[in-house]
Chains A and B, each alone.
Chain A
Amino acid sequence: MSDTMSDTTAVPEIRPREAARPPGPAPRGLTEHALAQLTLTRFREFLREPEALFWVFIFPILLAAGLGLAFRNRPADVLKIATVTPELARSLRQDKLLDVQQLSTPAAEEALRTGKVALLAEPGADGAVLYRYDNTNPEGRTARMLADRAVQRAAGRVDPVASSDRLMREPGSRYIDFLIPGLLGMNLMGSAIWGMGFAIVDARRRKLMKRLIATPMPRHYYLLSFLLSRLVMLVIEVSFLLGFGIFVFKVPMRGSLPDLAVLCVVTSLSFGALGLLIASRARTIEAASGLMNLVMMPMWIVSGVFFSAQRFPDMLQPVIKALPLTAAIDALRANMLQGAGLAQVSSQLIVLAAWLVVCFPVALKLFRWR
């Protein structure tokens, strides 16, 4: 103010209304602070958009539920086999893992040919048994072993070594355990990029952003408000998806929760910066969504959301590992499934931090305010 005073002495009548003003800013509550108001506005806009709520909260859970059901571990399958004589059928039925059908010879041959049964057991010459099956099919080979064991035992064979089984079905090695951290990473990426991208481009298209910069609003508050609302939303999103995984599928949480929180925040900031970069210049929703898909689509495929990223050729691995979603998912899986600490996922954290440090300043540099 002080440097403007000299101007006003030269032009004294310029501010006749100034005298009525209080000398300093009036004391104001926290919620009247510009940053709080901007963040609140972000929340209101988000929560009043039913579609956004669906994509962020409901969709990942539907996806997890659907895939969890489809790939759930079933009890060991019973193998279907066929035979043609009642004697053989009786011997074979001694094994609980075999589902034995006694058929006429033509019907049995037809069933074998069409794959309805994995193996056909026929009496051969001199009390021998003939197994007909496809030895390139694992089910056929297993059926051959089980059927032969049943036949030999029925004929009086005694195993020379006694053996027993202890079964283990360990949580953490199932597909759903693999999937939940993948979906979590995908969700953090999607909501950061979509959440920032669409809101920013929409505000620019409506000239709302231009209207805001015509006020004394500090520009960095505007960008900070996105970050703050993202972090609060993060807590809700993550607890929603993880809560679902834990209560419905008993997904293990072997790592420490504070570590997991750090990973989620770093991931979110990193994707937030990427989202900001994507939205920094686009003027239309169409242009922005094209860019977002271009950036996210490859990562959905190669970063190991639904299947391991190791399946891609070794040559591509360094590139895949440098992608932020790969780093995020690897770190989340290590935390949740192996109980890894932050030190053990430091390489992934470095990748995420690098994306943040590169994208954020570039986005600010390129950002179009109008």
Chain B
Amino acid sequence: MPASTPTAALRVRNLRKTFKDVVAVDGLDLEVRTGECFGLLGPNGAGKTTTIEICEGLTEPDSGDVELLGMRWSSHAAELRQRLGIQLQETQLADKVTVIETIRLFRSFFRHGPAPSEVIALVQLEEKMNSRVGGLSGGQKQRLALACALVGDPDFLFLDEPTTGLDPQARRQLWELIERFKLQGRTILLTTHYMDEAEHLCERVAIMDHGKTIAQGTPRELIASIGVEHMVEFSAGGAAKALEITALRRMEGVRDVRAENGTVQMQVTELHRAVPALLDELERQGVPLTELRTHSATLEDVFVTLTGRHLRDE
């Protein structure tokens, strides 16, 4: 028995799922604590949606165990359905029906929950209450989908890529809403391939790749785990001779150096030492600097460090 905290709202052990000859989930373990917002972060095709749909009881796993709110799908499906709020990826609600009618329909399936007008106020769709779903913007549709997940006053909220395809302003708005639900003590599991979303919303994240979690912890822990605080990116285009990467690797405070498509990325522990050293080195090699950027290490950098690929490569 793995030692698990007694407050786990969701516990997933050794989950496996294969579709024809594609292994979607390959021995996955997860633990989501009560009251936290947990992020499943990974590129498209990493198995996030399959994992979340198994947890939601919509997909049958080939093997493994899912324990949700102390219950299992095999024995307590009806009870679980009452206590979960689910937002699926790319659901299109009926176009000809209005916002309030849609909420009333979903509300009718649950024993408990707020009045339809309260839920609409919660997601700030009051003005669109009597508009048809077909006439809503992408952000408004996504907020309506969120409202449909909240009508049953759920204890556990599943959000599958809640902001994919939205413009930055609509994403910010949705983040604010999600943060407000967190304050009410709900447990949230969300999937995303936006690292900034995970850093912004989630207390803890699991990074998924090829059906497995390759790292799990708070965003801060994960970033610290790669032992790098800063990233330095520069372009040295138009140089007469090629850059000597190995010389850069030897510099003080530099962890790792990668070069791709004319851009060089350096993982750096001490920015104040590494940058002057870099400038000196480039001058010594006679390579002109065309662009220089630095940023604090992010979850994206964690993913790159662990897999050698970018999150949105696929």
Contacts and interface: CB of A to CB of B under 8 A. Distances in A.
B6 interface: yes
Contacts of B94: 41, 45, 203, 206, 208
Given A37-B104, A215-B81, A11 B70 contact: yes
B179 to A, nearest CB: 17
A216 B109 CA distance: 6
A220 interface: no
B147 interface: no
A32 interface: yes
Contacts of B112: 21-22, 25-26
Contacts of A45: 94, 96-97
A223 interface: no
B213 interface: no
Given A4-B79, A25-B111, A207 B105 contact: no
B85 to A, nearest CB: 9
Contacts, number: 112
B56 interface: yes
A41 B97 contact: yes
Contact of A208 (B35, B92, B109): B92
A368 to B, nearest CB: 13
The winner among B93, B94, B107, B148 for most chain A CB atoms within 10 A is B94
Contact of B93 (A13, A14, A38, A211): A211
Question: Contact size class for B?
Answer: 35 or more
B78 A216 contact: yes
Given A4-B71, A45-B96, A16 B185 contact: yes
B7 interface: yes
A214 B156 CA distance: 13
A34 B104 CA distance: 9
A88 to B, nearest CB: 73
In the A-B complex, list the 8 residue pairs whose CB atoms are closest, starting with the nearest: A216-B81, A206-B92, A37-B108, A48-B96, A7-B70, A211-B91, A215-B109, A214-B86
Given A13-B6, A18-B155, A208-B92, 16 more contacts: A7-B70, A11-B7, A14-B7, A16-B185, A25-B111, A34-B108, A37-B105, A41-B94, A41-B101, A41-B105, A48-B132, A207-B91, A210-B88, A215-B81, A216-B78, A217-B109
